[in-house]
Amino acid sequence: MDLPLIYHPDYVVPLPIGHRFPMAKFKNLYDCLLRDGVATIEQFHQPDRPPSPWIELIHDSDYVNAYCTGTLDAKAQRRIGLPWSPALVNRTCTAVGGTILTAQLALKTGLACNTAGGTHHAFPAHGSGFCIFNDLAIAARYLQQIGLVHKVLIVDLDVHQGDGTAFIFQNDESVFTFSMHCEINFPGTKQKSDLDVPLRAGMEDDEYLQTLDRYLPDLLTHVKPDLVLYDAGIDPHLDDRLGKLNLTDTGLYRREMQVLTTCLSLGCPVACVIGGGYSEDMNALVYRHSLLHRAASNVYRQYRL
């Protein structure tokens, strides 16, 4: 089996013209992977929309119901930052299904990548920062519930702290949350992950990668997870509108290789989601997200998974 990739056409829904969330990137990423020969069409798996009880393993049923029926109050809706529509509800749930499927396939093959996911600012009873339901948390909990995993490590390298995920698992030893993020970036109020590594603004490739290397191998040895869920946000890039770190494309590619080889060399399966990335230049943005899938393809071959 080739490296499993996960995509659904419903990952993209219309937003008002000029909206600052780059919604088109998911379809553009899918097209880019095929066009550049990173993947073939046979490698793509299409997720189903998960039933509400799966989402309610993490989220309050009142919140799930209010969001899905469009009855969330205006303040809660503004905090999410995406205009509500029935299509967005479907997109939100399907993307959660995508991360669940990614995790299931990663357990079978050792490595799998979604072309969406990483909604780490979602809390049990509210959304925030373009995040509505926390796909990482739901996937971890669902796989635990059906007995496929006991211990999960969430490696969150998006430039913003994974505050929702940290909050959800703050008293839960079965899910270890690791967030390496820019210390002065959103969210203003940080939560407590099991391991937070706040970085100073402006950090460049070498120092970033050395910092990661100081923590990740020991963490894997110490936590001994059955599965790593990896949020590969590319917003630490120097051209990112919401970033504040100074990584290059090469630095991001080196990061993906470092994370994936470190995990796989220790025999730990990895399910990847793309996380945040915000740039005016859509082509550059999509290429940057594709670095994850390019690295994963190389590592997958290298380890003959």
Q: Which residues bind Zn ion (CB under 5 A)?
A: 158, 160, 233, 235, 276
Q: How far apart are CB 161 and Zn ion at their closest, in Å?
A: 9
To Zn ion, the closest distance from the beta carbon of 303 in angstroms equals: 29
Residue 154, strand partner residues: 177, 229
Which C-beta is closer to Zn ion: that of 225 or that of 233?
233
Q: Cα angle vertex 9, ends 8, 10, to 5°?
A: 85
Given a contact cutoff of 8 angstroms between Cβ atoms, the answer to whether 134 and 159 are in contact is: no
Residue nearest to Zn ion (CB): 276
**Which helix (H) or strand (E) segment is 219 a member of?**
helix 205-223
Q: Which is nearer to Zn ion, 160 or 254 (CB)?
A: 160
Sheet strands (E) in the chain: 5-6, 44-45, 111-114, 152-156, 175-182, 195-199, 227-231, 270-273
Q: Look up residue 32 and give its two tokens.
A: 């880019």
* Residues forming beta bridges with residue 228, ordered by sequence position: 153, 270
Residue 205 corresponds to which tokens in the numbers above? 């490739």
**CB closer to Zn ion out of 126 and 160:** 160
Q: How far is the CB of 242 from Zn ion (least distance, A)?
A: 6
Catalytic residue chosen out of the listed positions 8, 59, 120, 121: 121
> Cβ closer to Zn ion: 28 or 128?
128
3-class state of residue 140 by DSSP: helix
Give yes or no: 121 in active site.
Answer: yes
> Which of 135/158 has CB closer to Zn ion?
158
Question: Residue 204: phi, psi to the nearest 5?
Answer: -105, 180
- Bond preceding residue 187 cis, omega within 30 of 0: yes
Q: How many CB atoms lie within 10 A of CB 174?
A: 14
Q: Strand, coil or helix: what is 273?
A: strand
Q: Are 40 and 34 in contact (CB under 8 A)?
A: yes
CA dist 111 to 99, 223, 231, 292, Å?
A: 13, 19, 13, 12
Q: At closest approach, how far in Å is the CB of 15 from Zn ion? A: 18
**Least distance (Å) between residue 266 CB and Zn ion:** 27
Q: How far is the CB of 50 from Zn ion (least distance, A)?
A: 23
Which residue number, 124 or 187, has a Cβ lying nearer to Zn ion? 187
Q: Are 106 and 133 in contact (CB under 8 A)?
A: no
End-to-end CA distance of the chain: give it in Å, rounded: 8
Which residues belong to the active site? 121
